A and B are shown apart, each in its own frame.
Chain A
Amino acid sequence: MPMNAHDIEKMIKDGIPDAQVTIRDLAGDGDHYAADVVSESFRGKSRVQQHQMVYQALQGNMGGILHALALQTSAPK
């Protein structure tokens, strides 16, 4: 069963409390999303580490029911 945008946003924010999360539904099918995550906790970390932090927040859903989440992460400018 696909996750809705609100669930994804909530999970990321639960895992990374200061995160600003923007979710876009890419295909309008509730299955292909893009997430833009901005958090101070990403500062000084590699892109791989930043993505790992989001994956951790998503607690194993990434790669499973969330097989199509395009992810962009950054520290606040």
Chain B
Amino acid sequence: MSGINEWIDNEVKTNDVIVFMKGTPDFPQCGFSGQVVQILNYLGVPYKGVNVLSSDELRNGIKEYGSWPTIPQVYVKGEFVGGCDILREMFQAGELQDFFAEKGIAVSAPQTA
């Protein structure tokens, strides 16, 4: 296991909700990352954003770690949930709120959002 893989693994396991994204939650640098930030902010879910543009090693490492070729990637309690499209679909279907509730993560927006 390379250093970056261990670092990612540790981040994924020590943060309840973590988003590997392009840019930061305050300044997303890609539309897909921006959408994930909007959804999580709307739900009021606490999360950590990691900017993959900060290093090529990280940017490539996360694609390998998740066996997932695109960014953003969302992990909840160590489990890969999906990218922007999946998160958006779950949100629009009302499943995302239930998912966070199941995982014991507080959501401040109403269930009927």
A19–B16 alpha-carbon span in the complex (Å): 36
Given A48-B80, A63-B63, A72 contacting B69 (CB threshold 8 A): no
Chain B nearest CB, measured from A32 CB (Å): 9
Interface-side segment among B41-49, B83-91, B105-113: B83-91
How many residues of chain B are within 8 Å of chain A by beta carbon?
17
Judged by a CB distance under 8 angstroms, whether A43 is at the interface is no
Chain B hits for A70, CB < 8 A: 32, 84-85
A72–B92 alpha-carbon span in the complex (Å): 13
Given A47-B82, A71-B85, A72-B85, A52 contacting B67 (CB threshold 8 A): yes
Judged by a CB distance under 8 angstroms, whether A51 is at the interface is yes
Chain A nearest CB, measured from B58 CB (Å): 14
Between-chain CB contacts (< 8 Å), 14 pairs: A47-B86, A48-B81, A48-B82, A48-B86, A52-B68, A55-B69, A60-B69, A62-B70, A63-B69, A63-B70, A63-B71, A64-B69, A72-B85, A72-B89
- Which residues from chain B sit less than 8 Å from chain A, CB to CB? 31-32, 63, 67-71, 80-86, 89-90
- Which residues from chain A sit less than 8 Å from chain B, CB to CB? 47-48, 51-52, 55, 60, 62-64, 67-68, 70-72
